[in-house]
């Protein structure tokens, strides 16, 4: 199985900040990586697929990138509604696996 | 609007007699075209893929942790996904989400673009 190591597990930031969350894969694969946002009590919401393609309706302040086995989610100009937990997921190979999550909290 | 609504979660005792069936009612899309998945989330923990079924229901896939104990199925005439859970263990305690596969190709790609809020299963004596 491909292990996805996500970091940091939590971070504190202010409105307007830029934050970056990273997922490191245990082995190299293509671009089949997604990012999800989950708010307390809510369903996960898909943000990005294919490493860098934004889902319809997702603000352009969200972006995804990759470098080798490291995948990143960047949020520019952090907004109050962005405080949530974020998960990466690889769907390159079976079984699909998720990162442990990153909780973005208000500083 | 695409919606997934899970139900059937309950408090149940662990052991071979413990079984439960979860349901997920789908609306707003052509259910029979998409593979469907169950993902669970233990209290305070992250997401764990559990099981996926192809659009027609002829192929099923399971995590090792539930293989042989859980059965995924679907009724395309009722737009409903199911997860039959048996021989439940304390470690099966979680919020169970159903999710829709992104690509309507029949076979799953395991990227899920729509999720439900989940139904809670608590396994405890």
Q: What whole-number distance in Å separates Cα of residue B84 and Cα of residue B53?
A: 13
Q: What whole-number distance in Å separates Cα of residue A24 and Cα of residue A8?
A: 11
Place of tokens 């192809």: B54
**Per-residue pLDDT tens for B76-100?**
999 999 999 999 999 999 999 999 9
- Residue A81 backbone dihedrals phi, psi, to 5 degrees: -75, -5
The pLDDT > 90 percentage for chain A reads 96
Listed in sequence order, the residues at least 6 apart from A24 whose beta carbon sits closer than 8 Å to its beta carbon are A4, A5, A6, A7, A69, A70, A71
pLDDT of residue B97: 98
Answer yes or no: is pLDDT of B106 > 90.
Answer: no
Interface with B, mutate which of A32, A45, A86, A91 (most B CBs under 10 A): A91
Mean per-residue pLDDT, A11-23 = 97
CB contact under 8 A, B115 and A49: no
**Per-residue pLDDT tens for A50-82?**
999 999 999 999 999 999 999 999 999 999 999
Mean pLDDT of chain A: 97
CB contact under 8 A, B117 and A87: no
Written as six digits, the tokens of A66 are 């990759």
Please classify residue B124 by burial: count the beta carbons closer than 10 Å to its beta carbon, then call 0-12 exposed, 13-18 middle and 19+ buried. exposed
Contacts of A42 in chain B (CB under 8 A): 117
Contacts of B49 in chain A (CB under 8 A): 95-98
């Amino acid at each position: 199985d491909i292990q996805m190591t996500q970091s940091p597990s939590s971070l504190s930031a202010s409105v307007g900040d830029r934050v970056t969350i990273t997922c490191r894969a245990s082995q190299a694969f293509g671009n089949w990586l997604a990012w999800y946002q989950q708010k307390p009590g809510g369903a996960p919401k898909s943000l990005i697929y294919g490493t860098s393609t934004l889902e319809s309706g997702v603000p352009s302040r969200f972006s995804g990138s990759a470098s080798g086995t490291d995948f990143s989610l960047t949020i520019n100009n952090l907004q109050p509604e962005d405080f949530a937990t974020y998960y990466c997921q690889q769907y390159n190979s079976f079984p699909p696996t998720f990162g442990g999550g990153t909780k973005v909290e208000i500083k | 609007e695409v919606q997934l609504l899970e139900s059937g979660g309950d408090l149940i005792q662990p052991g071979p007699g413990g079984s439960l069936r979860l349901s997920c009612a789908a609306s707003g899309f052509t259910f029979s075209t998409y593979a469907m998945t169950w993902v669970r989330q233990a209290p305070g923990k992250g997401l764990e893929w559990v099981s996926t079924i192809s659009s027609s229901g002829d192929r099923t896939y399971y995590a090792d942790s539930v293989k042989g104990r859980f059965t995924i199925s679907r009724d395309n005439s009722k737009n409903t996904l199911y997860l039959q859970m048996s021989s439940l263990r304390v470690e099966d305690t979680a919020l169970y989400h159903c999710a829709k596969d992104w690509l309507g190709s029949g076979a799953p790609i395991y990227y899920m673009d729509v999720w439900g809020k989940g139904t809670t299963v608590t396994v405890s004596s």
